[in-house]
Amino acid sequence: MPDPGQPPPANIGWAERVRPDVRHPPRLILFGPGGGPPTQEDVPIEGIRARLASGKSFLFGDFQSPTEGELEALSRELSLHPLAVEDVGHRHQRPKIDVYPDHYFLVAYRIGYPERRLRLDEVDAFIGPNFLIVAHDGDVSLLNEVLDRFCRQTGVHDVSGLLYEILDALVDEYFPLLDMLAERTEAIESAVFEKFDARRLADLLQLKKDLSLLRRVIAPERDSVNVLLRRDPPVLDAGRVFYFQDIYDHLIRITDSIDTYRDLLTGSLDAFLSVENNRLSEVVRRLTVISTIFLPLTFITGFFGMNFARLAGAGDRLFLASIVSMVVLPIFMLWLIRRQNVR
Is 106's pLDDT higher than 90? Answer: yes
Is 99's pLDDT higher than 70? Answer: yes
CB–CB of 79/101 below 8 Å?
no
Q: Of 274, 295, 322, which closes a domain?
A: 274
- Indicate whether 328 and 251 sit together in one domain: no
- Indicate whether 185 and 230 sit together in one domain: yes
Residues 216-262 pLDDT 10s: 899 999 999 998 887 666 778 887 888 899 999 999 999 999 998 88
- Indicate whether 319 and 225 sit together in one domain: no
Q: Of 274, 291, 326, which closes a domain?
A: 274
Is 147's pLDDT higher than 70? Answer: yes
3: in domain:
no
92: in domain:
yes
Cis before 233 (ω within 30): yes
Compute the C-alpha angle 146/148/152, nearest 5°: 115
Q: What pLDDT does 124 receive? A: 92
- Indicate whether 305 and 228 sit together in one domain: no
Phi, psi of 134 (to 5 degrees): -115, 135
221: in domain:
yes
- pLDDT band for position 308 (cuts 50, 70, 90): low
Nearest to residue 9, comparing CAs of 193, 146, 211? Answer: 211
Q: What percentage of the chain exceeds 90 in pLDDT?
A: 19
329: in domain:
yes
157: in domain:
yes
- Indicate whether 235 and 170 sit together in one domain: yes
1: in domain:
no
**Amino acid in position 152:** R
- Indicate whether 129 and 262 sit together in one domain: yes
Pairing of strands 58-64, 96-99: unpaired
4: in domain:
no
CB–CB of 94/10 below 8 Å?
no
- pLDDT band for position 118 (cuts 50, 70, 90): confident
- Indicate whether 137 and 191 sit together in one domain: yes
Q: What pLDDT does 303 receive? A: 62
- Indicate whether 318 and 239 sit together in one domain: no
Q: Of 233, 249, 274, which closes a domain?
A: 274
- Indicate whether 124 and 223 sit together in one domain: yes
How far is Cα 269 from Cα 68, in angstroms, rounded to an integer?
Answer: 48
pTM: 0.75
Is 201's pLDDT higher than 90? Answer: no
Q: What pLDDT does 236 receive? A: 81
160: in domain:
yes
Question: What CATH number corresponds to the domain at position 145?
Answer: 3.30.460.20
- Indicate whether 269 and 300 sit together in one domain: no
Q: Which residue has the higher pLDDT, 104 or 334?
A: 104
- Indicate whether 304 and 227 sit together in one domain: no
**Total count of domains within the chain:** 2
Say how many residues make up the chain: 343
Residues 266-288 pLDDT 10s: 887 777 777 777 777 777 777 77
How far is Cα 136 from Cα 62, in angstroms, rounded to an integer?
Answer: 8
- Indicate whether 175 and 222 sit together in one domain: yes
Order across the sheet with 58-64: list the strands: 38-41, 27-31, 58-64, 131-136, 119-128, 104-112, 96-99
Residues 8-52 pLDDT 10s: 444 455 444 566 667 788 888 888 776 666 777 778 888 888 888
Rounded alpha-carbon distances, angstroms, from residue 84 to 108, 223, 280:
14, 18, 56
Q: Residue 311 is part of which domain span?
A: 282-342
- pLDDT band for position 126 (cuts 50, 70, 90): very high
